[in-house]
Structure 1
């Protein structure tokens, strides 16, 4: 217990400072932001939840996952099934079980249930995937993404197939978004300082030594997999309430690419990096959106072609990997002293590629 208390004192600045900074952003947006700007901030908070959830697994295990957006899909559809009025479900989603057809819950109840449903799914599939290592594990997670997307895209009577499910209560606002981001940051931090988090990072940095010390790598990876799935499932539920509509296409390759880019740009081995990457990339995305719509300059409208946004983010990610492989934060965490950052939750372990691990 004394050792845990010492770790808590040394590292508590990270979540506290991050949550306070996000609170300040929410307050400024609420007081001075337009409706469009508030929606941008809410979307950023949801992305913070996504990338923080991804950090819980990728940052602590060192395994790159391409399948975590499938958990977002599961959470979004579960909250849709739970919150849409029964009359609408009986018309468009006739394949749902009878008890689910006649169930309607408020967002505050449906959201955690969606997260727990996603975590249960991750527990089942993770018992198989987490036995793999290196590039095999990464490919397996990509296969998971493809399977979930295809099932939800073609199960017409339950998910609406390629069409969109409408009627989800639009109950999201800046404060709900901030609360979700704050909870995600807190969960990620508590996991990072837990015994399981420390053990998993030991397997990431020195797999052979950790195994010789009696650490069960499969079990620790599975724990992180389930925790990250819960966070991302909740993010998916909030995203559904943000848009008031869900479609399988929203939870596939583009979202996977954006979230991974945010994690890499900020620093995949630090919680501060996960949040910072989202803020930076979100600002860039918003800037390119405005440029694609067109900007007036001396009476002339200047616009860039559609699609430049994705190209620019791709180029930025490549540049970061070339010159700052540890991300903008260099995998360091915030301290009470502010900037420069001090490394607390993570050790300065080199990035281990999937190819090296498989060898």
Structure 2
């Protein structure tokens, strides 16, 4: 029995979501500090899974999705911070926006919608580019957005911090958004648009000859991807309790790209595995960076060890496992051929 692509995608998403649910059950038994680390990792997972929707299916590595994360965070601030504080921190906002004080869920949905709208506008010219030119174009978008976040002081607070966001992000809520994003990524992957986009990724000439409008399919994935990353940005703002421009630039871009590359950027399973691997490695290196005590001996930490460790891990993967830890494969349903039953995995 051969299962449909949609059934395979839902099976993959179901297994990944079940693993997250198990992680949350275990996490609720941990200390407050450990729960916060796990919550941050789940938000990163939502970002990486959202980025995968475009990167994994198109084959175009994006360096600009953290800009959408920032858009989601600032939108959440504009919609949910108390009017009196907005009037003081962001006097350049329209009066109608200053007067709003919506529920955090509205901020999350608004962040996703704003990021998707920006992706639609920016994606129209960007999707005309291919290969390294497209990747550089996404990086240019990130630089522009960072400049806007940092210097439009009357609307974004500039280099200062926006505070006063409602307390909303918890471990279950972060897990919920991660699960929704994984499900959305799986459904897009199994859709006709996702198939056409992956076809153009594997053989652009054959896809064009078959009538696939690569630019259109990339734009759809780009907008869909930005929506989920924008929602994660709003949740990230509630998690940090402040919004500051420096948070949405190169450091977070490097971490999320490392998660995709190390796990395997051509599979949803790889995005999840890469996020888990990098999150654990980062936390271990961060602890070592602060110094290690072995009995009576205390060793001072090495500053920058976290960045060096992640860079080394990415380099090793690129050298010895170019398709990532998962090899670009998914966890899929068992398939039966003749009388034999076996587990089939595929990109």
Distance of 1:71 and 1:97 partners within structure 2: 22
Per-residue CA deviations over 1:199-238 (Å, capped at 9, x if unaligned) read 0000000100100111101000000100110011011100
How far off its partner does 1:290 sit? 1.0
1:100 maps to 2:101: no
Q: Specify the alignment match of 1:357 in structure 2.
A: none
2:52 to 47, 55, 60: 55
Confirm or deny: 8 A CA contact 1:170 1:243 kept in the other structure. Answer: no
Q: Specify the alignment match of 2:256 in structure 1.
A: 259
Task: Give the TM-score normalised by structure 2.
Answer: 0.95
1:172 maps to 2:169: yes
Three-state SS of the structure 2 residue aligned to 1:96 is coil
Q: Specify the alignment match of 2:11 in structure 1.
A: 13
Q: Specify the alignment match of 1:136 in structure 2.
A: 133
1:328 to 319, 325, 330: 325
Q: Specify the alignment match of 2:338 in structure 1.
A: none
How far off its partner does 1:171 sit? 1.2
How far off its partner does 1:10 sit? 3.1
Unaligned segments of structure 1, at least 5 residues: 347-359
Question: What are the equivalent positions in structure 2 for 1:65-214 lying under 5 Å apart?
Answer: 65-214=62-211
Task: Give the TM-score normalised by structure 1.
Answer: 0.92
1:343 maps to 2:345: yes
Q: Specify the alignment match of 1:351 in structure 2.
A: none
Distance of 1:302 and 1:11 partners within structure 2: 48
Distance of 1:343 and 1:267 partners within structure 2: 14
Distance of 1:39 and 1:246 partners within structure 2: 18
Q: Specify the alignment match of 1:281 in structure 2.
A: 278
2:20 to 16, 19, 22: 22
Distance of 2:300 and 2:12 partners within structure 1: 40
Distance of 2:226 and 2:343 partners within structure 1: 28
Confirm or deny: 8 A CA contact 2:286 2:305 kept in the other structure. Answer: no
Distance of 1:302 and 1:176 partners within structure 2: 38
Question: What are the equivalent positions in structure 2 for 1:347-358 lying under 5 Å apart?
Answer: none
How far off its partner does 1:8 sit? 2.2
Distance of 1:91 and 1:8 partners within structure 2: 50
Per-residue CA deviations over 1:56-106 (Å, capped at 9, x if unaligned) read 111100111111110000000000111111110111110000000000011
Distance of 2:215 and 2:276 partners within structure 1: 33
For the aligned residue pairs, the C-alpha RMSD in angstroms reads 1.4
Query: When the two structures are aligned, how many residues end up with a matched partner?
Result: 339
Confirm or deny: 8 A CA contact 1:111 1:237 kept in the other structure. Answer: yes
How far off its partner does 1:336 sit? 4.6
Three-state SS of the structure 1 residue aligned to 2:4 is helix
Confirm or deny: 8 A CA contact 1:48 1:181 kept in the other structure. Answer: yes
Distance of 2:90 and 2:8 partners within structure 1: 51
